Structure 1
């Protein structure tokens, strides 16, 4: 460990004892399970920087694939002062505080439309946030007296989501994406955000929020949404963000209306 670094700012993985650099990784290779396959797994582990590398598990996944677990020591160091963290920029509110804030700012229920879009049929995430049963001991948004929830369920096409949001006059649209093969969650989310911006006038697009275990929290702007929530997000976090975002939007100065191109006599 470099003496130039502040004590504790550089660390190594911990396995059997402090600083031994031991890690465990798993992967699948497209090769039948035999001794040659196990040798290939160890070769890959060594190229990844594990030395020595120990093969602790190998199991055939059908006739043409093998799953491996490898254990070994790495020389890489983690520099904690270079770790980037997305900090929560809004206060975490209780249900009572959320309801009170919505009453004060909107003077009507806040409308939330949620769905799993594309071919994604995994509703566990969206249900955890929206349904009254909630998640992690917290009730979902349906339990908030000042929130009206419209849960469209799974495998909702983007045009259907846009149509529902317009019909319900949604303040916010929440989508959940669990299926991530070939970056399906990225493609679906960018297509969704583009569709909303095409369907709504500038400045009138609902809050667009995406959630799922494989989203990177710092990619909201890149994907065209207002917020990304990752794994472990609770209903109170989403509710608190909605209050924060709605208040922020209301505090913005109104956009200048477009001037009419008609002559003055035609405007009367």
Structure 2
């Protein structure tokens, strides 16, 4: 009889350093733009900034002018900072990931009508790539959007939709959920727009009756749901099946569980 030794359990590292050339060498690469024309003084300013960021020694590996009076830099060097992964807090997915046919089956069996979804880019945001990836049939990376789900009724309002128009559309469509995509983040426009939207929906609907409010975009912090007054935030890399699964979880599964 051959005894196969058990594999040793290697504990996951909790404290780590950046990796560049060799393990744990602390090497990092950062890029930034300074409002200076490209010359030796600008390069010196970039090294000074890198030093104040804790990069020592800092090596300037790339510098190119970015129009009149601006220069783009890439700096490489060592930092002494450690990262404690035990202190990292993230929003974990707390619902099962369902296939399209499973979403359709739950909606048809338990809601007994089509689930109404209204989506838009609000404010001056004209970047519809994100909302289209989630809503349009073509979807993203081979995964079809919510329009593909036969038990979902989707209304995509497109870009630069005002908050009052979004509220009106949600009323007209009897929306169960409102999806808003925000890509433009200059001067925290995405945060201001989201707060304006959530305030408008709280004013327009009585407590417990408003549609589910969901926002998404590459610069959102998923832990800011309560602060922004929304029900869920999705970050970059979100796929249509994640959103559809969340809708079923929030609007049907969890609500049914609380009434049992």
* TM-score, length-scaled by structure 1: 0.90
SS at structure 2 position matched to 1:134: coil
Equivalent residue, structure 2, for 1:266: none
In structure 2, C-alpha distance between the alignment counterparts of 1:31 and 1:63, rounded to whole Å: 8
1:164 equivalent among 161, 164, 169? 169
Paired residue for 1:249? 255
Structure 2 CA distance for partners of 1:243 and 1:7, relative to 1, 3 Å = closer
**Whole-angstrom CA distance in 2 between matches of 1:49 and 1:236:** 41
CA RMSD of superposed structures (Å): 1.1
Structure 2 distance, partners of 1:43, 1:21, is 19
Q: Counterpart in 2 of 1:28?
A: 33
Q: Which residue of the partner structure matches residue 181 of structure 1?
A: 186
Deviation of 1:251 (Å)? 4.5
Could you tell me how far apart the structure 2 residues matched to 1:85 and 1:229 are?
12
* Secondary structure of residue in 1 paired with 2:218: coil
Partner residue, 2:119: 114
Q: Provide the secondary structure at the position in 1 that maps to 2:223.
A: helix
- Per-residue deviation, 1:104: 1.9
Give 1:82 deviation, angstroms: 1.1
Instruction: Give the gaps of 5 or more residues in structure 1.
Output: 1-5, 254-268
The CA distance in 1 between the partners of 2:16 and 2:207, in whole Å, is: 48
2:83 — aligned with what?
78
1:8 and 1:170 map into 2 onto residues whose CA distance is 46
Residue of structure 1 equivalent to 2:64: 59
- Partner Cα separation in structure 1 for residue 26 and residue 103 of structure 2: 45
* Correspondence for 2:133: 128
In structure 2, the residue matched to 1:263 is: none
Alpha-carbon shift at residue 63 of structure 1 (Å): 1.4
1:41 matches 2:46 = yes
- Matches of 1:99 and 1:28 in 2, distance apart? 48
TM-score, normalization by structure 2: 0.93
Question: Is 1:206 equivalent to 2:176 in the alignment?
Answer: no
| Alignment: residue pair count | 248
Alignment partners' CA distance in 2, 1:80 and 1:173: 34
**C-alpha distance in 2, partners of 1:127/1:29?**
35
| Cα shift readout 1:206-249 (whole Å, capped 9, x = no counterpart) | 00000000000111111000000000000000000000001223
Instruction: Give 3-state SS (helix, strand or coil) of 1:218's partner.
Output: coil
Look up the match of 1:233: 238
Give the structure 1 partner of residue 96 of structure 2. Answer: 91
Mapped partners of 2:255, 2:118: distance in 1: 18
